[in-house]
Amino acid sequence: MALGTFVQDDVRQLVDGLNFAEKVERSLWLIREAYEEHGEHLAVANSLGKDSCVVWDLAKRVSPHIPGFIVTTRFKPPETKQFMKETVARYPELRVFDNPAPIPEKLWETDPDRCCDILKVKPTRQAIEEMDVHCWVTGLRCTEGRTRTDFEEVEERDKGLIKLNPILVWHEREIWQYLALYRVPVNPLYAEGYRSLGCGPCSRITSGGDERAGRWIGTSKCGGECGIHTRPLIDYQI
How far apart are the C-alpha atoms of 223 and 153, rounded to whole Å?
A: 22
| 5 vs 110, beta carbon nearer ligand SF4 | 110
- Smallest gap from Cβ 2 to ligand SF4, in A, equals 37
Instruction: Supply the minimum distance, in Å, between the C-beta of residue 70 and ligand SF4.
Output: 14
**226 has catalytic annotation:** yes
Question: Which alpha helices (DSSP H) does the chain contain, by range?
Answer: 11-17, 20-38, 50-62, 78-90, 107-110, 112-116, 122-130, 172-181
Write down the least CB distance from residue 75 to ligand SF4, Å: 4
Q: How many residues does the chain have?
A: 238
Nearer to ligand SF4, 66 or 115 (CB): 115
Decide whether 67 or 201 has the Cβ nearer to ligand SF4. Answer: 201
Binding residues for ligand SF4 (CB under 6 A): 73, 75, 108, 112, 115-116, 119-120, 198-199, 201-202, 226
- Comparing CB distances to ligand SF4, the nearer of 106 and 173 is 106
Q: Report which secondary-structure segment, H or E, holds 3.
A: none
Minimum distance from residue 201 beta carbon to ligand SF4 (Å): 5
- With CB atoms as reference, the residue minimizing the distance to ligand SF4 is 199
| 8 A C-beta contact, residue 69 and residue 96 | yes
CA distances from 129 to 123, 135, 235 (A): 10, 11, 10
3 state SS of 101: coil
One DSSP character per residue, 189-220 reads GGGGT-SS---GGGB----SS-TTTTBTTTST
- Using DSSP, state whether 95 is helix, strand or coil: strand
Q: At what angle do helices 172-181 and 50-62 cross, to 10 degrees?
A: 50
Smallest distance from ligand SF4 to CB 98, Å: 11
Q: Which residue's CB is nearer to ligand SF4, number 166 or number 198?
A: 198
**CA terminus-to-terminus distance, the chain:** 37
Catalytic sites, residue numbers: 226
